[in-house]
Amino acid sequence: MSEIKSTNIHWHEGNLTRDERWEALRCKGGTVWFTGLSACGKSTIASALEQILIQSGVNCYRLDGDNIRFGLNKNLGFSAEDRAENIRRIGEIAKLFSDGGNITLTSFISPYAADRDAARAVHAEAGLPFYEIFVDTPLEECEKRDPKGLYKKARAGEIKGFTGIDDPYEAPEKAELVLDTTGKSVNESAQEVIDMLVRVGLIEQ
């Protein structure tokens, strides 16, 4: 699904470099890619982080798993092929937002390592930072939370191919940050990400 089908297309450079844009707008871009099981806390942490960053004047935009499936990815389901295309599009969109000078937060289960690696590669090719955050909340804890009742449905066989139940989750082996949210507040988890962003120089203290 990802081959270039168009012919006679040519890349059109703009009149500005990325550095000129970021300098003029006083911002820096980069993608913070949250991955983990359903209900591990990706969306909650990304939302808290977005609020903190925006309120401190940092350009930031959040791309959320379910929300994207209402629009851009409304034609995709949860087969391995559709999950791959879902993540491929998100990788491309995150790259554009980051190029535009946003700290781009993506919260998608993104269960397959190859798909996450492809998103990382797209950023590397474009010279943009990419940080993989593994929200490593144990399955038992996610299932206990079950804020949308999805695990219950999956256990009852009403949802097929549910990650962690009857579909695989390939844990990252080289994530820049691993968070276990068990017994932590949302703010504590968000703070761990902020500390990392400061450490890598994407934001100031």
Point out the residues that are catalytic: 110
Q: Using CB under 6 A, which residues numbered 41 to 100 contact ligand ADP?
A: 41-45
> Which residue is closest to ligand ADP by CB?
41
Nearer Cβ to ligand ADP (56/185): 185
Kindly report the length of the chain: 205
Buried b (16+ CB within 10 A) or exposed e, 23-55: eeeebbbbbbbbbbbbbbbbbbbbbbbbebbee
Least gap, CB of 101 to ligand ADP (angstroms) = 25
The answer to the question of residue 139 lying near ligand ADP (CB under 6 A) is: no
Strand partners, 10: none
Q: Which of 69, 79, 132, 78 is nearest to 106 (CA)?
A: 132
State which of positions 166-205 bind ligand ADP (CB under 6 A): 181, 184-186, 189
62 beta partners: 105
Q: Considering the complex, what minimum distance in angstroms separates the CB of residue 41 from ligand ADP?
A: 3
Q: Which of residues 16-45 bind ligand ADP (CB under 6 A)?
A: 36, 38-45
Return d(Cα 116, Cα 88) in angstroms, integer: 8
Total interface residues for ligand ADP by CB under 6 A: 17
In the complex, what is the shortest distance from the CB of residue 88 to ligand ADP, in angstroms, rounded to a whole number? Answer: 20
Distance from C-alpha of 171 to C-alpha of 134, rounded to nearest angstrom: 8
Identify the residue whose tokens are 């449905």: 153
> Where along the sequence are the contacts to ligand ADP (CB under 6 A)?
36, 38-45, 107, 145, 147, 181, 184-186, 189
